Structure 1
Amino acid sequence: MTGAPASLVLVRHGESVGNLAAARAERTGAEVVDLGTRDADTPLSDRGLDQARALGAWLGGLRGDERPEVVWCSPYLRTRQTAAAALDAAGLDLPVRLDERLRDRELGVLDRLTRAGVEARHPQEAERRRLLGKMYHRPPGGESWADVALRLRAALRDLSERDDGRRVLVVAHDAVVMLLRYVLEDMTEDALMAVVRERSVRNASVTRLDREDGAWLLTAFDEVGHLAALDAAVTEHEGTDDTGA
């Protein structure tokens, strides 16, 4: 990288109606997530909007030298809604750069299938997934985590050149936050998967990395104290699910 931002605040979007539908499908043993929109058009739930506003209240309360100066955002509706609601609640008027490389992982033929659905409808893919692991399994028509990491490396090069020295807020998705950590912290596959097995990235949570002496230092991960401070509900997700939004 020829330059680098001073800090990155990584935020997963607020709870979406897709998150609710996926949780309901898993809970009832359904094979397919009942969702009436394509993934890119899935909006926030009411609780997700509350989470985004709580995030904004936290951003607005930061000192001037800690607040983000620019936003990079996935173009998916739930992330754009999260960024807009947060900035409005914070009273901040910041440039928002939409970048499709920050989109969620694409699941191809496994899209909208629960664990039970993958086992029932694509048993060979279920076996391939167990064999190859989360990092390298690429479902037909979809992406592996390694594929997502590749596009994130390209996005980071552009971000670093365009916003060198600035404080950047990135609003994206669970896998994107995890894989940005993987890229920026030079993590191994084993180290990344250890984090993934332990926890998911919760909706509207904050992960922060600061640039110090030419390296990235993780100073916060999956923090949700700002939600509790304003009585906004925290959405818990398992860390091993490949089918969540």
Structure 2
Amino acid sequence: MEQLQWLAVVRHGQSTGNVTAQDAETAGIEQIDIPERDADVPLSDLGREQAQAVGPALAGAAPDVAIVSPYLRTRQTAELALAGLDVPMVVDERLRDRELGVLDLLTAYGVQQRLPGEAARRERHGKFYYRPPGGESWADVLLRLRSLLRELREDHPGGRVVLVGHEAIVLLIRYLAEGLSEAELMKIARGTTVANCSISSWRGEGGELRPELFNSVEHLHAEGTPPTKQEDVDDEPV
């Protein structure tokens, strides 16, 4: 099967949920007060500026198609980044964020206080395999991403594809593209905050995907838009 010529993944711009979650973590409270369901959380004003700044970088890369998570913040990011570009946008549910089940809307402190048994179980199993009740593990998310990448290679042989998703999606696409081990992925995840509207990319070479960029925010600086602060929290409790 022919490899893609180029693959990139963009994390969505800063969302109102990112801001609220950061405030809750900083204040040391147990629950994050987000009125919308996760799929309906929109971009913040800064997030919209970040998404617009992605446009010139994508224009230079000339993708054939954009595959986008169905969540509002990712669709808004893609629409703003692709404005004026002749790039079709396809929504695919397999790019949705990891589902958190009983951990939804809890801060890291909240998980420890309200669900100490789950906190202990996660510590035992590790982030890669831990599945919260009603939610997904990272391994579960990988199952849907594997099928998506296989279809992309079949439907766009030699193509140039950009994905727009979430922080966990960026890390797990890297895991798949580079054939990482669990230990290698966890080392990257522990040391990296995937910035809002960062670009990570790989180029097809010798039948494999070779790393090109990871968590790059140079395009945000170039447009005069500050990148997401490194203390911005993940889309899930740590």
TM-score normalized with structure 2 length:
0.96
Displacement over 6 Å in runs of 4+: none
Taking the aligned partners of 2:161 and 2:235, their CA distance within structure 1 comes to 28
The CA deviation at 1:238 is 5.3
The CA deviation at 1:19 is 0.5
What does residue range 50-129 of structure 1 map to in structure 2 within 5 Å? 50-60=49-59, 62=60, 66-88=61-83, 91-129=84-122
CA contact (8 A) 1:202 1:235 kept: yes
Q: In structure 2, list runs of 5 or more residues that go unmatched.
A: none
Question: What's 2:30 paired with?
Answer: 31
Does 2:18 correspond to 1:19? yes
For residues 21-77 of structure 1, the C-alpha deviation after alignment (integer angstroms, 9 at most, x for no partner) is: 1100001111111101000111000000000001113223x1xxx311110111110
What does residue range 234-245 of structure 1 map to in structure 2 within 5 Å? 234-237=227-230, 243=236
Taking the aligned partners of 1:38 and 1:155, their CA distance within structure 2 comes to 25
The CA deviation at 1:97 is 1.2
The CA deviation at 1:183 is 1.1
The alpha-carbon distance between structure 1 residues 190 and 144, as it changes in their structure 2 partners (threshold 3 A), is same
Question: What's 1:227 paired with?
Answer: 220
Does 2:159 correspond to 1:160? no
Taking the aligned partners of 1:83 and 1:46, their CA distance within structure 2 comes to 15
CA contact (8 A) 2:12 2:51 kept: yes
Identity of aligned residues (%): 51
For residues 206-235 of structure 1, the C-alpha deviation after alignment (integer angstroms, 9 at most, x for no partner) is: 101111001111110000011011111211
For residues 122-142 of structure 1, the C-alpha deviation after alignment (integer angstroms, 9 at most, x for no partner) is: 000000111111100000000
- Aligned to 1:234, what secondary structure does the other structure show? coil
Number of residue pairs matched?
A: 238
How big is the alpha-carbon RMSD for the aligned residues of Structure 1 and Structure 2? 1.6
TM-score normalized with structure 1 length:
0.93
Which of 155, 179, 183 in structure 2 is aligned with 1:186? 179
- Aligned to 2:98, what secondary structure does the other structure show? coil
CA contact (8 A) 1:196 1:240 kept: no
Taking the aligned partners of 1:32 and 1:195, their CA distance within structure 2 comes to 27
Taking the aligned partners of 1:161 and 1:150, their CA distance within structure 2 comes to 17
What does residue range 126-137 of structure 1 map to in structure 2 within 5 Å? 126-137=119-130
Q: In structure 1, list runs of 5 or more residues that go unmatched.
A: none
For residues 61-112 of structure 1, the C-alpha deviation after alignment (integer angstroms, 9 at most, x for no partner) is: x1xxx31111011111000000000111xx2021111110010000000001
Letter in 2 for 1:53: Q
The CA deviation at 1:204 is 0.2
What does residue range 166-177 of structure 1 map to in structure 2 within 5 Å? 166-177=159-170
The alpha-carbon distance between structure 1 residues 242 and 226, as it changes in their structure 2 partners (threshold 3 A), is closer
What does residue range 38-57 of structure 1 map to in structure 2 within 5 Å? 38-57=37-56
